[in-house]
């Protein structure tokens, strides 16, 4: 399917990005890893959940491309991918432009309607 110049691949990427960001804990993890590299164990210590649960959140972020992991000895280090975050921002800006266009058309319609006297 190809809608408004967007391919299925682009739509799949958007689905993955927005799914990853739909969870409060994952958004918080993103804030932390965008501020600097963190070990997954240090991230896990910040949350009232098991290490395995935090690992699952990190895996969702990694699969979406928002987070990159690397190994350093026994530690897994996580860093946010700024380019992926920019892609999300760009998608939201496109959606905003669509809505602004719709609002502008509604305003034009209202302006062209004859005024009713009350």
Report the C-alpha gap between 30 and 27 in whole angstroms: 5
Strand ranges, E, within 10-72: 38-39, 67-72
Judged against a pLDDT cut of 50, whether residue 2 lies above it is answered with no
Question: How many angstroms separate the CA atoms of 31 and 24, rounded?
Answer: 11
pLDDT exceeds cutoff 90 at 111:
no
| CATH 1.10.10.10 is right for the domain spanning 8-112 | yes
- pTM: predicted TM-score of the whole model, two decimal places: 0.73
Please state the rounded mean pLDDT for residues 51-68: 96
- Predicted pLDDT of residue 116: 73
* Residue where the block lists tokens 């690397």: 70
């Amino acid at each position: 399917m190809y809608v408004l110049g967007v391919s299925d691949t682009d739509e799949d990427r958007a689905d993955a990005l927005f799914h990853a960001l739909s969870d409060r804990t994952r958004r918080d993890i993103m804030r932390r890893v965008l501020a600097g590299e963190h070990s997954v164990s240090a991230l896990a210590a910040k949350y009232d959940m098991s290490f395995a649960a935090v690992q699952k959140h990190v895996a969702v972020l990694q699969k979406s491309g928002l987070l990159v992991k690397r190994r350093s000895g026994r530690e897994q280090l996580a860093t946010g991918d700024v380019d992926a975050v920019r892609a999300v921002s760009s998608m939201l800006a496109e959606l905003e432009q669509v809505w602004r266009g719709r609002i502008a058309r509604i305003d034009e319609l209202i302006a062209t309607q004859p005024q009713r006297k009350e």
